[in-house]
């Protein structure tokens, strides 16, 4: 399962124990795009920054590759899609991973992409 940036952010909340347990019970991966999106947020406080840094230090991070870039281009040619979302969706497709996101509708049109919302189910 590939975690979208918003799932990582939700998981950092102290009240998100069920989501944290769900993530811990699965083989999960993150994209380098989520690393930039989450840690690059300007309003993180020191505790949040530390939590996210620790999370990413222990995560299986998937780098960008030419097949991911090509797939992201193909997706963006089909429909308006933010660059980060296109790269994350393309990463899931290329690595044949289900995408965990709370923004299911942003990705539901992508053929071959299995999208789940663990926030709604936890």
14 three-class SS = coil
Each domain of the chain, given as residue ranges in start order, spans 2-121
Question: Residue 122 pLDDT more than 90?
Answer: no
Measured distance CA(118)–CA(122) in Å, rounded? 6
Please state, in angstroms and rounded to a whole number, the distance separating the CA atoms of residues 45 and 60.
24
Residue 62 sits at φ, ψ, to 5 deg, of -95, 125
CATH hierarchy code of domain 2-121: 3.40.50.1010
Q: Cα 29–66–42 angle (5° rounding)?
A: 55
For 40-95, write each residue's pLDDT tens digit: 999 999 999 999 999 999 999 999 999 999 999 999 999 999 999 999 999 999 99
As a whole number of angstroms, the distance between CA 31 and CA 70 comes to 16
Give the pTM. 0.94
């Amino acid at each position: 399962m590939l975690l979208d940036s918003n799932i990582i952010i939700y998981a950092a909340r102290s009240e998100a124990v069920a989501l944290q347990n769900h993530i811990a019970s699965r083989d999960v991966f993150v994209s380098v795009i989520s690393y930039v999106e989450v840690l690059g947020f300007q309003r993180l406080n020191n505790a949040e920054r530390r939590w996210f840094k620790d999370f990413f230090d222990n995560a299986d991070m998937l780098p960008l590759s030419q097949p991911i870039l090509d797939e992201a281009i193909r997706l963006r040619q089909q429909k308006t899609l933010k660059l980060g979302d296109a790269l994350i969706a393309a990463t899931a497709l290329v690595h044949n991973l289900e995408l965990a996101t709370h923004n299911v509708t942003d990705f539901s049109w992508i053929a071959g992409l299995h999208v789940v919302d663990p926030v709604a189910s936890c």
